[in-house]
Amino acid sequence: MNTTHTGRAYAAALGYTVIIGFSFMFVKMALIVSNPLDTLAHRFTLSFIAAALALLIARRRVPLHLKRLLVIVPLAIFYPFLFFTLQTFGLVYTSSAEAGIIHATVPIFTMLLASLFLKERSGWAQKLFTVLSVTGIISIFVLKGVSFEASSMLGIVLILLSALSNAIYSVMARKLTQKQSVLDITFIMTLIGFVLFNLMSVVQHAAQGTLMQYFDPFAHPSFVWAVLYLGVLSSLGTSLLSNYALSQLEASRMSIFNNLATVITIFGGVFFLNEQLAYYHFIGAGLVIIGVIGASFAGRSKRAAPTGLTPGESKST
């Protein structure tokens, strides 16, 4: 792989990580004022406007023929649609710090899916670290107490499913970004998110007879700042950065950066949202981070082998 491209890919992955790390906090801020569907609709409206302006300034035209859309739609189902939907609704029932810890399972899901679909092998050390990471998640909720509310459990499940959607997207995008333009993929993904989330929000308001309240959240400055961050940086920015990084890096290697996002999310929730963390959060987070880093490094040599490459990919990619 070209050294310059590698450096840019890691820089993109790092930028993606920092933005994602703080995104949980901004979602919680937006949800104080708005409901999940309106938050998703408004963030993707701003994301689409930003993407359209960027293309207009660059004088770039994205061909939207049916064949290209059919190739990208399966990817867009998992990211942004399922990932952001599950994440936003999950954050209604759990704290941003707790969601960040659960989100650290993305690398584990990614490695399992890469093993299944890309035929990558995992050694005993990689499996051991994988179990350690899962143990970290379980320990948080065992130590927290088995009698927590059903709503809290719903939040946990939704964030876990969000993490799984992210992992599926990473594996799918790794192959697609080798064949399609990163800018084209990002724009079409943003367009699909804009259409779907706005349609869902409008239908909900129409059913409730509250269509005139569609733009009410913008009367709150905190919501405006939150959706600007979520729309321009967390939706459009992360799509562009992750698609570029995945065009240069293996999906499993890219997923390592979610570890740092977890740390950022935890401390963002504590310092900016005054969320409380107990000792078991630190124990669980420590086990998760050690597990995912250990599993990633344990499998590095195997991923570098020819059998671990995406079909049609060369070592120089």
Q: What is the pLDDT of residues 81-107, one digit of tens each?
A: 999 999 999 999 888 878 888 887 887
Confidence (pLDDT) at 22: 92
- φ/ψ (deg, to 5) at 121: -95, 150
Confidence (pLDDT) at 4: 73
- State how many domains the chain has: 1
Give a yes or no: residue 48 inside a domain. Answer: yes
**Confidence (pTM):** 0.79
Mean pLDDT over each residue of the chain, to the nearest integer: 82
Confidence (pLDDT) at 35: 96
Give a yes or no: residue 239 inside a domain. Answer: yes
Give a yes or no: residue 159 inside a domain. Answer: yes
Spatial distance between the Cα atoms of 44 and 120, rounded to a whole number of angstroms: 35
For 257, the enclosing helix (H) or strand (E) is none
Structure tokens at 142: 């065992």
- Beta carbons within 8 Å of 169's beta carbon, 6+ residues apart: 75, 78, 79, 83
Confidence (pLDDT) at 121: 66
Q: Please name the residue that has the structure tokens 């939040």.
A: 155
Give a yes or no: residue 314 inside a domain. Answer: no
Give a yes or no: residue 101 inside a domain. Answer: yes
Structure tokens at 51: 């993407």
Range of the domain at 285: 3-308
Per-residue confidence band for 205, with pLDDT thresholds at 50, 70 and 90? very high
Cis peptide before 80 (omega within 30 of 0): yes
The model's pLDDT over 236-283, given as tens digits with 9 standing for 90+, comes to: 888 889 888 888 877 767 777 776 787 788 778 888 888 887 888 888
For 238, the enclosing helix (H) or strand (E) is helix 238-248
The model's pLDDT over 17-47, given as tens digits with 9 standing for 90+, comes to: 899 889 989 999 999 999 999 999 999 999 9
Give a yes or no: residue 81 inside a domain. Answer: yes
Give a yes or no: residue 313 inside a domain. Answer: no
Give a yes or no: residue 63 inside a domain. Answer: yes
